[in-house]
Structure 1
Amino acid sequence: MIRLKSLRVLSAALFVLFPMAAHSEVSTEIYCFRSQESAKSINFELRTYYDSFSKWSGAAVRYSKSKKAISLVYRNTEQEILAEDRPYQFTTTWVEVSEGALTGEYEMVSQGARVYGMTYTNYKTGKKYSFEHDFSMDFSSETGCQW
């Protein structure tokens, strides 16, 4: 009984001394994109993940006609000053990894909270696709973009 009580006191003391020291929350952002080509409608969602404690980031895309997400690996972010009184413009690139192979590349251009463009380049064919951010699309973390 004394041992259990000592254990509780020790646990409480550690909790007070080190409150949530190891706690880290992964933040998630969801973007919904539509193709800009009128001949064929292609829609996908992009989910980005960031863990501030470990400085880890990741991403995945899921096309509207697919149940399976495709993993993306962060490559780099370039920033550019377009005007002194405006937010920086960022160009972020992710590499697509499908079934163990590098199959394409996604490049997103944003400024502040606004996404100005997204392109996908297929490595096999070299074809490039352009997408626009669909601000009006309903989405949730549980269900994703509601096409």
Structure 2
Amino acid sequence: MKSLIFLAYVVLLIFSVHVNAERFEVRCFTSLKNDGTPINIKFSTMFVASDGYRIGYVVYEKPNKPILLYYSGRTERVFEEDRPFEVTTKWKEIIEGKPAGEYTIISQGAIVYGFSYKTKAGEVFDFSYNSKATHAGQGGCNWNGGL
């Protein structure tokens, strides 16, 4: 019951922040297991500049339940003065009210170069940006689009 109440709270929080978000991003990623089976994930983040507040969540295709993320920091690297800098952003997940794994996204401008998930035990899963699945205007991912 506590998990259901917490999940309802998270969903309400996400939607209330989304209404006031100054920037809302949805990206779709896919990783392939050793047997070729895809692991599909929707990664959504929101930013409210007036409060300096960031929140996010991920939804795996199966099971289709949101996992709350909290922003844990970013680093920037400048390669050339007239080019966008590389940004590495980290997000920690909260499962049943406790910290769990960590998501890392590496981007330069609008291009995503890396996305990974590190379990609490240290196992790392690398994902690829799935442009065919991303439907930003609809706020979701269409997993029938392929990789």
What TM-score, normalized by structure 2, do the two folds share?
A: 0.76
Match of 2:125 among 121, 126, 129: 129
Shift of 1:60: 0.2
**C-alpha separation between the residues in 1 aligned to 2:32 and 2:79?**
25
Match of 2:31 among 16, 30, 35: 35
1:90/1:138 CA distance change after superposition, 3 Å: closer
Residues 96-125 of structure 1, C-alpha deviations (whole Å, 9 max, x = no match): 1010111100000000000011010000x3
1:49/1:143 CA distance change after superposition, 3 Å: closer
Q: Percent identity?
A: 33
Q: Which has the higher helix share?
A: 2
Q: Which runs of 5+ in 1 are unaligned?
A: 1-23
Shift of 1:53: 1.9
**Secondary structure in 2 aligned to 1:62?**
strand
**Secondary structure in 2 aligned to 1:42?**
strand
Aligned to 1:85: 82
Aligned to 1:58: 55
**C-alpha separation between the residues in 1 aligned to 2:138 and 2:110?**
22
- In our comparison, the structure showing a higher alpha carbon Rg is 1
Q: How many residue pairs were aligned?
A: 123
Aligned to 2:73: 76
> Which AA in structure 2 matches 1:30?
V
Worse overlay, 73-82 or 133-142: 133-142
Answering whether residue 114 of structure 2 is matched by residue 114 of structure 1, we say no
Match of 1:44 among 41, 46, 71: 41
RMSD: 1.8
What TM-score, normalized by structure 1, do the two folds share?
A: 0.76
Kept in 1: contact 2:27–2:134 (CA 8 A): no
**C-alpha separation between the residues in 2 aligned to 1:82 and 1:136?**
29
> Which AA in structure 2 matches 1:71?
L
